[in-house]
Amino acid sequence: MQLKITPSILGIDYGRMNEHLAELAPHSDMFHVDVMDGNFVPNLTIGAPVVACIKTEVPLDCHLMIRNPHRYIEDFAKAGAASITIHAEASLHLAPDVEKIKKAGCKACVAISPDTPVEKISAVLPMLDMVLVMSVVPGFGGQAFIPEVLDKVRWIREHYPELDIQIDGGINDKTAPLAIEAGANVLVAGSYILKSEDYGKAVESLKK
């Protein structure tokens, strides 16, 4: 599986969003756009109108931490999302919502929070382009990696050898090798990259 590194843009300087993203772009396979609704998660971030202002060649991977995400899927597709992730815990009807993402022309991904068993998504796994195993409780950057979620990564990799498995939360040069060893191939990293002095070096250190 190809290893992909996707910086989370949660911690960028939104006052100079496109300039900051241009600095990250050479080191990014995708940009991970954290969308939080202040309801499914306590934090509140950006919506589709801000995503529509992003000017980049890097594919936008929108992680919707939104309750009842079906209401916003088309908005994010129109705003330029290449892939859209919805949470299994936040969707009322998971399979129809996955279909809606595909119909909108985006790659479809479903996320599970650390406490959510993989059984919750077993029916939709065959429909997905990517699955996201959260390694922190969604809502904030800068939290510590929860190693227990790696068992879910291992299970999914064993049953879906070709599926992109994304992991998000607390990824750094110590936790990335654990995630890769378990079978994850798409690493989201927020604070580790953005707080580093050299984005290129930080990204390279995640691939070792």
Judged by the rule CB under 6 A, the positions of this chain that interact with ligand DX5 are 8, 10, 32, 34, 63, 136, 138-143, 168-171, 188-192
Q: Which of 195, 159, 176 is nearest to 12 (CA)?
A: 195
190 binds, among ligand DX5, Zn ion, none (CB under 5 to 8 A by kind): ligand DX5
Within 160-179, the residues that bind Zn ion by CB under 5 A are 168
143 binds, among Zn ion, ligand DX5, none (CB under 5 to 8 A by kind): ligand DX5
Beta bridge partners of 109: 85, 130
Closer by beta carbon to ligand DX5, 94 or else 179: 179
Is the Cα torsion angle 44, 49, 50, 52 positive or negative in sign? positive
Is 168 catalytic? The answer is yes
Tell me if 180 sits within 8 A of 3, measured CB to CB.
yes
Residue 33 in tokens = 């756009």
Closer by beta carbon to Zn ion, 7 or else 80: 7
Is 34 catalytic? The answer is yes
Q: CA 40 to CA 65: how far, in whole Å?
A: 6
Q: Is 135 helix (H, G, I), strand (E, B) or coil?
A: coil
* Among the listed residues 7, 41, 46, 63, the single contact to Zn ion using CB under 5 A: 63
Mind telling me the catalytic residues?
Answer: 34, 168
